[in-house]
Structure 1
Amino acid sequence: MSRIPVALLSALLLCGCEPADNTADLRDFVALTKASSPGRALDPLPQPQPYQPVAYSAQDLKSPFAIASMLKAQAAPPRIDNGIRPDLDRPREELEKYSLGSLKMVGTLERDGRLALIRVPDGTVQTVQVGNFIGTDYGKILQISDNRIELLEIVPDNNGGWVERRNALTLAE
């Protein structure tokens, strides 16, 4: 009994494998198009030109690919000594080992002149006065007000010299 459903199922599957001619209309269209359009012969391919070697004559000129030659062409302007340079022989002060961005002004005091209170990255607070140096750019304190420390830094320029730059540290809120 179980063989009859299997045989019917097999016959049904084999019927699905019968080739169907679904492309008859496509074949008719292609045949009609070929019959109605006149064919012409293709033009022959052009003959390749024979190879003619060319002698390289630019070996004595600058190579456009050599970076060193381009850098020499863009020589740095001559260094002008303006007399500005940091005093590298003086002893460095405690706050010169911190960048100016890592220092915070937290207040001022009046004791034999105005003092500023500076918090350093380790959390301690130190006092500075006019004439002290702070920051990594040889910053000398010029003036201390209630909410600002004015300083003059000496920074390297692009030509191997030094220039002065004004900067300030403001009261942190």
Structure 2
Amino acid sequence: MRLSLLVLVVVLLSGCGGAEYQDLRDFVKNSGANMRGKIDPPPEVKQYEFFAYNNDANLPNPFKPRKQDMRSGGGAGLNQPDLNRPKEALEEFPLESLKMVGYLYQNKVGWAVIRATDNKLYRVKAGNYIGLNYGLIKEVTETSVMIKESVQDSSGDWTERDSSLQLME
């Protein structure tokens, strides 16, 4: 067994010897001789034109906050929630942490059963508030709770966005 393996290795290695590779060496030597990389000329640099900023007294300073125009409703507006009303229990929790786990229909009113992060169950209906962003429950269905949240943007204006809680299966 060892002898046959040794003979096999000697036969295979004998094929690697010899000087018959001169044509391959010539090809490798000459193949890169005619290949020259072509580099595009650098782009023409245009002269920079300076701009003189005229300090017009009528322009606002971009580095100071703008004063809100009361006529446009800055800070208040139609979407501002009632900040003076008493908070409800589910307004202590972020909306993302609340889960709808059930639905009840009682006295012609649809109620959603919500589980909060304190592992308590809460019963809510349309008109209740939920979440940290003044979320008003608009509609309760068998599979979801439709919520309209009021959030304040960077300019102080209140905008509304729609959110929902889906029934967990």
Count of residue pairs brought into register by the alignment: 103
Partner of 2:93: 98
Paired residues for 1:14-163 under 5 Å: 72-73=61-62, 79=68, 80-81=72-73, 82-112=77-107, 113-163=109-159
The gaps in structure 1 that reach 5 residues or longer are 1-60, 62-71
**CA–CA distance in structure 1, aligned partners of residues 98 and 163 of structure 2:** 13
Supply the AA of the counterpart residue of 2:62: A
Once the two structures are TM-superposed, the CA of residue 124 in structure 1 deviates from its matched residue by: 1.2
CA RMSD, 1 decimal: 1.9
The answer on whether the counterparts of 1:76 and 1:159 sit within 8 Å (CA) in structure 2 is: no
Partner Cα distance (2:79, 2:64) in 1: 23
Deviations 1:80-127 (A, max 9, x none): 413321101110000000000010000100112110000010111110
Indicate the structure (1 or 2) with the bigger Cα radius of gyration: 1
Conservation of the 8 A alpha-carbon contact between 1:156 and 1:163: yes
Segments of 5+ residues of structure 2 without an aligned counterpart are 1-52, 54-60
Looking at structure 1, the residues matched to 84 and 67 of structure 2 have their Cα atoms a distance apart, in angstroms, of 27
Identical amino acids, percent of aligned pairs: 37
Could you tell me the TM-score, scaled by structure 2's length?
Answer: 0.56
Aligned partners of 1:133, 1:155: CA distance in 2, in Å? 14
